[in-house]
Amino acid sequence: MPLINTVDVTIFTKFTIPLLASSTNESVDNTIVVAAVLLSLVVIYLASKLGGELSNKLGFPPVLGELVGGVVVGTSVLHLLVFPEGGTDSSSSLIMSFLQITAGLTPEATPAVFAAQSEVISVLAELGVIILLFEIGLESNLKDLMEVGIQAFVVAVVGVAVPFAAGTAGLMIIFGIAPVPAIFAGAALTATSIGITSRVLSEIGRLNSKEGQIILGAAVIDDILGIIVLAVVASLAKDGAVDLGKVIYLIASATGFIIGAVILGNIFNKSFVAIADILKTRGGVVIPAFIFAFIMSYLADIINLEAILGAFAAGLVLEETEKRKELQKQVIPIADMLVPIFFVAVGAKTDLVVLNPAIPTNREGLVMATFLITIAIIGKVITGLAVFGQPGINRLAIGVGMIPRGEVGLVFAGVGAASGVLSKPLGAAIIMMVIITTFLAPPLLRVVFPQGESSVGLDSTSEV
């Protein structure tokens, strides 16, 4: 028996595996890879918390601080968290250098460990964005969307169509960008962050005004339309070309997938509640929910849509169950662990040096960033003009409320960077657009909603 135990210990301490098929085709020591991943997570969580807390203290959404924290620890500044797809190698990673000093990592094994560590973090980031979209789906009430009226729907459609068309056409005509990356960048302009806008409206006491309700309803519809657009353009990015027939197929598939999931969800809801009531051990609600979400994500993926669309649809379905509040509470700590990995990784992969105006070759990227920011602001502000039949309503406030891109805009940037369809300057320009629009929205909302102005409130007969 002692001999068997010795053998077991030897196997577990010395066995090496080619983790996640390292691109170097060399076996790497699993313990060193685990150590590298753990150090990476320490950096990620420190960056997310410090950035999030500072952003919150300044009156901005924590997610923006997580993004900026990622930029600081990533390839733009500290080089603590770098990835090979960004054009960097193991010699640029301070974590690899630290492991060489403290854990005996040899220079020969460093590239393989670096590749494996980067791939693990990338997979965790992908899982984080799936959890994020599942959580957004859980918070999107379809019945509330139907009750906000035609006004919110019109505002949402204008807020998606105008910036998408203007951004895509401008990048292709003015900057000569290829169709697929131009479409991807244009799609990144479509979303609106409901979390940022709702928080500011609540702080200034305008959440229940007509303007506030139209903004919130339109923002949720924007997210749904934006996620469908993301699924379509991400699928196009895999082929590298625009095929009109495939575009029509993808739009129909994405729309049908969402509608079908919601319709079939009425049947599944009862089964989910019954299963949750039978299970008595820990995770009796959240584990079946994640099984459903991952199955939906898999189905979306195999029909050439994005896995995040399936996760979002699963959230919409489970939002209708009587277990939704309990489920939302149990998903929050899981999201708190995984979602920051995605946002910090997006920031870490963003090389803002490509926007440095002092370098002549970077000026085109800076001009693109300025163009995208301009289209992002104007394309949303004019949505207020789409409101009809509401005399005395503050149309400028509605347009300004649609400006911030926030977390959904970062999802576009992250998916685009992972697919390789975006060049460094264009990817950095999208990140700058998200940051600037998110920073601008809170103070602008306070300006267009003066404290002394009397808002048009909701009453029992309102359409909204």
Shared domain check, 401 and 336: yes
Residue keyed to tokens 């010395």: 14
| 3-class SS string, 138-164 | HCCCHHHHHHCHHHHHHHHHHHHHHHH
Identify the domain containing residue 67 by its residue range.
Answer: 30-122
For residue 276 the two structure tokens come to 């949750």
Q: Give the pLDDT confidence of 202-223 residue by residue, as tens digits.
A: 667 776 677 877 887 787 777 7
* Residues 106 and 158 both lie in one domain: no
Residue 144: per-residue pLDDT? 59
Pair 202, 321 in one domain: yes
pLDDT score for 464: 31
Distance in Å from the first CA to the final CA of the chain = 74
In a domain, 378, yes or no: yes
Residue 340 belongs to a domain = yes
Residues 241 and 390 in one domain: yes
CA-closest candidate to residue 408, choices 333, 312, 314: 312
- Global pTM value: 0.71
Quick check: is 4 in a domain?
no
Domain end: 62, 94, 122, which one?
A: 122
Using 70 as the pLDDT threshold, list the residues of the chain that sit under it: 1-28, 86-87, 140-149, 194-196, 198-200, 202-203, 207-208, 237-244, 246, 389-390, 406-408, 450-464
Residue 91 sits in the same domain as residue 190:
no
Q: Is residue 10 part of a domain?
A: no
Do 157 and 117 have their domain in common?
no
Number of domains comprising the chain = 2
Residues 193 and 54 in one domain: no
Burial track 44-72 (b if 16+ CB lie within 10 A, e otherwise): bbebbebbbeebeeeebbbbbbbbbbbbb
* Two structure tokens written together for 339: 């979602």
> Do both 191 and 315 map to the same domain?
yes
Domain membership of residue 210 (yes or no) is yes
Alpha-carbon span 378 to 440, nearest angstrom: 13
Contact 258, 228 (CB under 8 A): yes
Does residue 201 belong to any structural domain of this protein? yes
Provide the CATH number for the domain around residue 385.
Answer: 1.20.1530.20
Looking at 75, 95, 122, which one is the last position of a domain? 122
Say whether both 387 and 302 belong to one domain.
yes
Question: Does residue 391 lie in a domain region?
Answer: yes
Say if residue 160 is in the same domain as residue 48.
Answer: no
Q: Do 148 and 282 fall into the same domain? A: yes
Of 102, 90, 118, 91, which is closest to residue 33 (Cα–Cα)?
A: 118
| Within-domain flag for 174 | yes
Pair (294, 386) in one structural domain: yes
Chain mean position to CA 279: 32
In whole angstroms, give the CA distance from residue 40 to residue 48: 12
